[in-house]
């Protein structure tokens, strides 16, 4: 569907438009939304957009100052049934869903860093462009209120119904119920739950439109996060932090001395682009500084050399990644994001090499210890390993060669086999091209800094590479690069590599057993080798086809087909929960007249969530084992 001209729409506006439709019109809504593709045109009066239905019917969307349609009056139709018409609801349904930050008065905080996106491997930004005048004081977090518990309960009900329907039946009406519940969650002060609901709605839309960047596994994870958060809040037993914060709280950080580590392009599926520069304090504390705004790929590529908007600093992000800053009056969020308030002043400093402190400490720590800490941080952020909670991991590795879609390396001194995967797969960003070039130099030793992929066995998504101090067969980078290459911005050339390979690397590749000349294979993968993929396939089947598709798996011999291998592998808990899920999906008791006695999807959603959480924890345990 090509509806790029349509402005974002507030969730409550779309939900209200769908609610006003009659039952007959609701059945036609999905077809009407699909028919909106290519109908949108820019109006003559400013930023308005018109969508034509026939010769006499025109829907006009006039976004407000925020660039989004935030009130019902900003969406007008010329037909006689307006505003309770199908045309208006279809135009609103075809438009993208506005982010909560866009709807907030006053915007958000400049310098907000990016959140990693599982669906693309990129960084999904918290859209931010407006600086904080004063840091927000951090007060004691109140307990959940009855209104919040009720809003969470309504969100759970809507999410359970959406899960029961699946992508196949999760059309505009189901999405509107989720959007209404998300709006209620925002009004009740549950921004984290609202954001999870919006992710599910966007995932449903992308899956139904067969979007190229949409993966069914990502939508499955989004449903798990939404349901897990909603059930915890609805129970009233969740901690106050589970509600999240509508705005990022910044505290006074005093004077900070930070040194650049690397740059990372930010490219989100919602049209935002920019750069995140990773910094390190003198005491080893990690910080980030971002410049993320609407603009997509073009802005992500150009922001790497854009000026740093922090306290009048004269550096750009390329210079900051290889330099440093002395910041006076710094404002810092709890997760290390630097704010750009009026009282912040910054002075450029000389950068430090990766072999100097404090950067050297990142590469001195054993990888298994660093991964244990990353997995623990991810577990604290939710029910599953969260890549956003994982800090950067540094290690010295030897290149073995390309193996499938990744680069296989071994940590020096007989360490773990690690798979290097592109931090962002977009072909116009140089991540993948740089890794392909490195793969042609087996035996090369590298110093790698990247983000561990907590969803894959022993996998790292490198952001920057550099030479290993004292090594003869390593990178030869230009002096102005200060001993590091940002894989998302700098393009490695043949002149950056040594001309003559050592004797151990003269063969085309090194085998994982340490011998030269053998084929490059990734070795055992405990996550892929475990039969847990059967559980994931069952869960994804439920997301794609809904409750009915899971029920079909409970009939005949299919249940034994996936429970028996699980039990043989010792995964008895996974087998029991998967069997309970299929039994609950097929449980549809009816009275003597054929009417459903219990039409609620609550029991099915709880069974699905139990199996999904168990799967996530089991997979995290296998990922941890792959790094040891």
By C-alpha distance, which of 619, 626, 621, 604 is closest to 217? 619
Distance CA 124, CA 16 (A): 28
Sign of CA dihedral 394, 395, 401, 403: negative
Taking the whole predicted model, whether its pTM rises above 0.85 is answered as no
**Cβ-based neighbours of 15, under 8 Å, separated by 6 or more:** 176, 177, 179, 180, 183
Give percent of the chain above pLDDT 70.
Answer: 83
The confidence score (pLDDT) of residue 133 equals 36
Is residue 107 scored above 90 in pLDDT?
no
Q: Give the pLDDT mean for 317-329.
A: 90
Is omega for the bond preceding 358 within 30 degrees of 0, making it cis? yes
Is residue 223 scored above 60 in pLDDT?
yes
Q: Give the pLDDT mean for 166-187.
A: 94
Helices (H) and strands (E) in the chain, counts: 19, 17
Distance CA 238, CA 224 (A): 16
Is residue 260 scored above 70 in pLDDT?
yes
Least confident among 17-21, 259-263, 306-310, 433-437: 306-310
More confident residue, 118 or 92: 92
Task: Give 449-477 pLDDT, tens digit per residue.
Answer: 999 988 888 899 999 999 999 999 999 99
Distance CA 611, CA 331 (A): 42
**Cβ-based neighbours of 217, under 8 Å, separated by 6 or more:** 118, 536, 540
Q: Give the pLDDT mean for 491-509.
A: 72
Tokens coding 544: 């794609």
By C-alpha distance, which of 312, 309, 308 is closest to 322? 308
Cα dihedral value 379, 385, 389, 395, nearest 10: 110
> What band does 130 get if pLDDT is binned at 50, 70 and 90?
very low
Sign of CA dihedral 373, 374, 379, 382: positive
Is residue 221 scored above 80 in pLDDT?
yes
Question: Is residue 267 within 8 Å of 279, Cβ to Cβ?
Answer: no
Q: Give the pLDDT mean for 423-433.
A: 91
Question: Is residue 220 within 8 Å of 540, Cβ to Cβ?
Answer: yes
Q: Please report where in the chains the tokens 């709890």 appear, as a residue.
A: 334
More confident residue, 391 or 232: 232
Q: Tell me how far CA of residue 464 lies from CA of 94, 262, 451, in angstroms.
A: 39, 6, 10
Q: Give the pLDDT mean for 528-533.
A: 86
The confidence score (pLDDT) of residue 599 equals 78
The confidence score (pLDDT) of residue 132 equals 37
The confidence score (pLDDT) of residue 507 equals 42
The confidence score (pLDDT) of residue 385 equals 37
Q: Which residues pair with 515 in a beta bridge?
A: none
Other Cβ atoms closer than 10 A to 175: 27
Task: Give 131-162 pLDDT, tens digit per residue.
Answer: 333 333 344 445 788 899 999 999 999 999 99
First and final CA of the chain: distance in angstroms?
A: 46
> What band does 39 get if pLDDT is binned at 50, 70 and 90?
confident
């Amino acid at each position: 569907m090509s509806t790029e001209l349509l402005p974002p729409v507030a969730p409550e506006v779309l939900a209200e438009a769908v609610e006003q439709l009659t039952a007959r019109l609701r059945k036609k809504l999905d077809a009407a939304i699909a028919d909106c593709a290519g109908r949108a045109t820019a109006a003559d009066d400013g930023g308005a957009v018109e969508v034509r239905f026939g010769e006499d019917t025109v829907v006009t969307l006039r976004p407000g100052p925020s660039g989004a349609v935030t009130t019902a009056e900003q969406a007008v139709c010329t037909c006689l049934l307006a505003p309770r018409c199908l045309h208006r609801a279809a135009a609103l349904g075809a438009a993208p869903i506005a982010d909560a930050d866009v709807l907030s008065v006053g915007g958000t905080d400049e310098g907000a860093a990016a959140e990693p996106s599982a669906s693309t491997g990129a960084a999904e930004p918290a859209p931010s462009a407006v600086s904080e005048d004063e840091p927000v004081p951090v007060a004691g977090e109140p307990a959940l209120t009855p209104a919040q518990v009720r809003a969470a309960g309504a969100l759970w009900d809507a999410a359970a119904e959406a899960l029961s329907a699946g992508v196949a039946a999760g059309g505009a009406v189901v999405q509107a119920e989720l959007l209404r519940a998300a709006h209620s969650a925002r009004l009740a002060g549950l921004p984290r739950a609202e954001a999870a609901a919006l992710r599910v709605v966007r995932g449903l839309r992308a899956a139904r439109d067969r979007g190229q960047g949409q993966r069914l596994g990502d939508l499955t994870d989004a449903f798990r996060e939404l349901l897990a958060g909603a059930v915890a809040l609805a129970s009233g037993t969740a901690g106050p932090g589970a509600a999240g914060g509508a705005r990022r709280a910044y505290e006074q950080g005093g004077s900070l001395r930070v040194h650049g580590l690397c740059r990372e392009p930010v490219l989100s599926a919602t049209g935002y682009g920019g750069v995140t520069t990773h910094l390190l304090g003198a005491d080893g504390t990690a910080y980030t500084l971002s410049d993320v705004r609407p603009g997509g790929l073009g802005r992500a590529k150009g922001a790497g050399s854009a000026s740093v908007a922090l306290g009048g600093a004269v550096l750009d992000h390329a210079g900051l990644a290889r330099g440093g800053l002395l910041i006076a009056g710094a404002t810092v969020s709890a997760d290390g994001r630097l704010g750009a308030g009026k009282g912040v002043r910054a002075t450029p400093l000389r950068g430090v090499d990766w072999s100097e402190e404090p950067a050297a400490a990142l590469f001195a720590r054993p990888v298994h210890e660093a991964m244990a800490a990353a997995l623990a941080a991810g577990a604290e952020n939710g029910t599953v390993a969260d890549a956003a909670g994982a800090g950067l991991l540094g290690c010295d590795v030897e290149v073995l060669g390309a193996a499938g879609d990744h680069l296989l390396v071994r940590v020096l001194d007989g360490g773990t086999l690690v798979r290097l995967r592109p931090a962002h797969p977009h072909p116009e960003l140089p991540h993948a091209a740089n890794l392909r070039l490195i793969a042609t130099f087996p035996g090369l030793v590298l110093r790698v800094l990247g983000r561990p992929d907590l969803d894959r066995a022993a996998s790292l998504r490198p952001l920057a590479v550099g030479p290993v101090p004292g090594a003869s067969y390593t990178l030869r980078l230009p002096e102005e690069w200060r001993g590091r290459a940002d894989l998302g911005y700098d393009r490695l050339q043949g002149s950056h590599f040594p001309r003559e390979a050592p004797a151990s690397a003269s063969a085309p590749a090194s085998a994982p057993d340490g011998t030269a000349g053998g084929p490059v294979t990734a070795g055992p993968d405990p996550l892929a080798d475990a039969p847990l993929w059967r559980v994931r396939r069952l869960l994804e089947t439920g997301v794609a086809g809904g409750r009915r598709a899971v029920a079909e798996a409970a009939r005949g011999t299919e249940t034994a087909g996936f429970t028996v291998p699980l039990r043989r592998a010792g995964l008895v808990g996974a087998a029991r929960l998967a069997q309970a899920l299929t039994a609950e999906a097929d449980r549809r008791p009816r009275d003597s007249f054929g009417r459903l006695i219990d039409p609620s999807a609550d029991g099915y959603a709880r069974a699905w969530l139990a199996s999904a959480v168990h799967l996530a924890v089991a997979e995290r345990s296998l990922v941890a084992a792959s790094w040891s």
